[in-house]
Structure 1
Amino acid sequence: MQIRAGKANLHTRYRLAKQAAARAIRENKRLGLSEAEPPTDQEIAAEVSALDFSHWKSVPVA
C-alpha cells in the first residue's frame, strides 16, 4: 500500500514539475518577446518533453 502511495506521489510531483517548467518557459519567452508572437502550447509542450526531469531534485516548500 505504501508503494502505491509512493508511486502516486511521484507521479503527482512529476506532473507538477512539468507544469512548473511549462509556466517558466512561457513566462521567460513572454518577457523576452517584444513584438513577436507568443509561443504556442505545442511549442511549450515540445520544450517540456525535451527536459530530463531525472536529474531534478525535489525541494521542500513551506
Structure 2
Amino acid sequence: MSDEEKDEFEEFEMRGDDAGALMWLEQRYPDYRSIVREEYTIVLTRLAASAGWMGSVIDLPS
C-alpha cells in the first residue's frame, strides 16, 4: 500500500466510516482477508513462542 493509499484509507477511520473502509479494501485488495489471516497467524505464533507456549494451546485460524 502506498503512502497515498494509506492516507486515503485513514480518512475513512477519521470519519468513522467502517463500511466505506471495508468497501475501499475490498475494491483495491480483494485478497486482503487472506493477508490479514496469514499475518494474524504469524503474530500469534511469535507471541506463543516468546511466551514459551506450545502451538497446540492456541487455536490458530485455518
Compare the two structures and name the one with the higher helix fraction: 2
Q: Same fold (TM over 0.5)?
A: no
Q: Which has the higher contact order (CA 8 A, sep 6+)?
A: 1
Q: TM-score, normalised on structure 1?
A: 0.44
The structure with more radius of gyration? 2
